[in-house]
Structure 1
């Protein structure tokens, strides 16, 4: 791999609260070897390197989306896809969806429930160099109860959906072990109902005991855990069980905030998923879905602001693939976080250092010596306008020091 020097750029390194206005970043063999002020001595040392002048531009770590579904394309209702589309076709489509996230500046994504465990196989193809795509943290299928979120099919119909349907601690343990056998990085648990499944999204589903056995199995192998949780009881159950990340967290209460602080968990609010309401009425989203999402939108933002004020650790996750929540538009989540009360720098940290910390990615999320050179170049300053990350201003994406997307 070649050496690359990025000079005179605005450096947002992922951990400092202010950018470095005239900075220098050097990568060598896919690793960051320097990130700091312009230094002519260092430039002299790397005379043989490729030099990129970033005057007027920003360089920052590649972003992380901690909640996507490559099975889904943002269609109004995913039932047709789950029922009619073979997973062999879905995996091909999923490759393109993952690449859209990469081209948008998201060098790492975490999948949280996929038809046919397609994320496991897309990840393997990327790591073997067969295809180009982001770093993927795979979950395979989520784990849900009979009639739970992810089990929306009538009668005894068996569908290759996004979740494995099990009941009881022993069955949950077995289902978890099967996912781990596939080589997943994360176990996704359905702690409550949800918008895309019929029934009250606030009702708790998997019990504390059921989730604990899954988390116990995952942690044996050093794997992550995530819980879909909308209602207050399910949120508290998931946190008491020891989940690493809480997805959505719509009705998180003061008690939930106390537990999340005590356990050290992270909140993934998935605000981009509310695009369902923006486009869904005319777009064909099922009425039951719209009614539920509308019912908890206001509570979601109120409780998120309360959590932010209380210092809860929040990271970016879009729920990309849900209705009208398109892959490649992942940076919209940062705009939503700013609207919810974060500063632009806090939103960027949520998408870089804090997300990497939550997902235990010890060599990603910062422009720092010894870290993997996953980084992006932006035309302009996202601290002045966070929305530029969505509007074609991400000009270059580097993954492990290799240029994988370029518009210059």
Structure 2
């Protein structure tokens, strides 16, 4: 019996097949492809010490394993992503933003605006937005399609319409509309806008809180005054969604925040936005800003008449003073052990989503928090406080939402802007690299 040698053509086919097999990413136990991000310093978002020269394994949009190169066994044919010399941190969570309600300086809700805002946020590394108010039906429809491994924009959680009303029946009806829409939170405002409007009365916001809790929903409260924040805590609110800005917080308030386990969102950039355009901000020349903000919008902001109006506005002057109070209070509350979450109130006209979150983190450090505290408040801490399951920290089972940075934000928080790439559900976001 003679042995039949393969022809040159057959041998070539076999060689090509072997090359294809060797280059194909390995699959996990369920047959899905595995990616291995290898060599970066990993900040996991929990406050734990960073992992030096770490590994993150990702499959089907989720994290399989995180650890050192000694701890994590990299599958033989995993798709390797070389991140040596870089830093990986979780995607940023904006715990108080808005989507869909503005296009440049023009206000007006649309589905197209929602999608655009989520795409812009994603390119800035803001991988989750909690939109606290003015959300309409398209937001819920868009949100319902985000639990997939093909996601390529930021995740969204919504509060629907801000609940208002003069009677218990009116506010309950507003809550019912939100519930029907499929919201995640209920939002109220207890503020007189520097004495220019009427606050929601205590008996009404107590009705909102009690009814929302009966239905299984948490309540986020817009406040300005310490007295209102204190009363809302006693009434059972779950979330103080702005800084106390009228006076310094006292120990009683700090203790009450801790006893009730309510979280606090400073939204420092909200105050900045009220006066910053009275002159030309330095960031008008920052490529990290101008890559997402068109020249027409910048020209409108540079309009001398507009700038003079802001510079001479009594409310702008008042909010500038309020910012100083907010900064002092943030430091006191953080030192007092209160849970801080990062939010900006961005997405409103003139409050630029994505970019403002990086400025907010910088301001939180300026207020006295450490870079690690700010990173936790902007990632795992926010996810834990807001009960956003599967998000915020780089841990097995969570969604693979993270940023790869060229520089270490623990050394300088401004390094969160040194973006090499952004990944959401393990998908690389195009256009995310910093200019």
After TM superposition, list the pairs within 5 Å mapping 1:3-402 onto structure 2.
3-39=34-70, 42-43=73-74, 46-73=75-102, 81=107, 85=108, 87=109, 90-114=110-134, 116=136, 118-124=138-144, 126=146, 132-144=152-164, 166-194=165-193, 199-200=194-195, 205-251=199-245, 253-254=249-250, 255-276=252-273, 277-280=275-278, 283=301, 284=306, 287-322=313-348, 324-329=350-355, 330-390=357-417, 393-402=418-427
> What whole-Å deviation, never above 9, does each CA across 1:301-332 have from its counterpart, x for those lacking one?
12222212211111100111346421120222
- Structure 1 window deviating more from structure 2 (294-303 vs 98-107): it is 294-303
1:111·1:138 contact (CA, 8 Å) conserved in 2? yes
> What whole-Å deviation, never above 9, does each CA across 1:255-304 have from its counterpart, x for those lacking one?
33222112110000011223322223574365243133123122111222
Q: Distance in 1 between matches of 2:260 and 2:198?
A: 20
> What whole-Å deviation, never above 9, does each CA across 1:160-196 have from its counterpart, x for those lacking one?
xxxxxx11222212211111111011111101134xx
Q: Distance in 2 between matches of 1:48 and 1:288?
A: 64
1:119·1:139 contact (CA, 8 Å) conserved in 2? no
SS at structure 2 position matched to 1:318: coil
2:272·2:323 contact (CA, 8 Å) conserved in 1? no
Q: Distance in 2 between matches of 1:328 and 1:143?
A: 26
SS at structure 2 position matched to 1:331: helix
SS at structure 2 position matched to 1:179: helix
> What whole-Å deviation, never above 9, does each CA across 1:9-39 have from its counterpart, x for those lacking one?
1010112442111111111222212111113
The unaligned stretches of length 5 or more in structure 2 are 1-31, 281-300
For 2:13, the equivalent position in structure 1 comes to none
The unaligned stretches of length 5 or more in structure 1 are 145-165
Question: Structure 1 residues 379, 317: CA separation in 2 closer, same or farther (over 3 Å shift)?
Answer: same
Structure 1 length as normaliser, TM-score? 0.82
SS at structure 1 position matched to 2:63: strand
Q: Distance in 2 between matches of 1:311 and 1:130?
A: 38
Question: Structure 1 residues 6, 118: CA separation in 2 closer, same or farther (over 3 Å shift)?
Answer: same
Task: Give the total of aligned pairs.
Answer: 369
Question: Structure 1 residues 63, 41: CA separation in 2 closer, same or farther (over 3 Å shift)?
Answer: closer
Q: Distance in 1 between matches of 2:92 and 2:115?
A: 18
> What whole-Å deviation, never above 9, does each CA across 1:204-263 have from its counterpart, x for those lacking one?
822343223323333344433211000122211222222221111223622332221121
CA RMSD of aligned residues (A): 2.6
For 1:153, the equivalent position in structure 2 comes to none
Q: Distance in 2 between matches of 1:10 and 1:173?
A: 49
- Structure 1 window deviating more from structure 2 (356-365 vs 5-14): it is 356-365
Q: Greater Rg, structure 1 or structure 2?
A: 2
Question: Structure 1 residues 128, 5: CA separation in 2 closer, same or farther (over 3 Å shift)?
Answer: closer
Q: Distance in 1 between matches of 2:113 and 2:44?
A: 33
SS at structure 2 position matched to 1:272: helix
SS at structure 2 position matched to 1:95: helix
SS at structure 1 position matched to 2:429: strand
Q: Distance in 1 between matches of 2:370 and 2:393?
A: 18
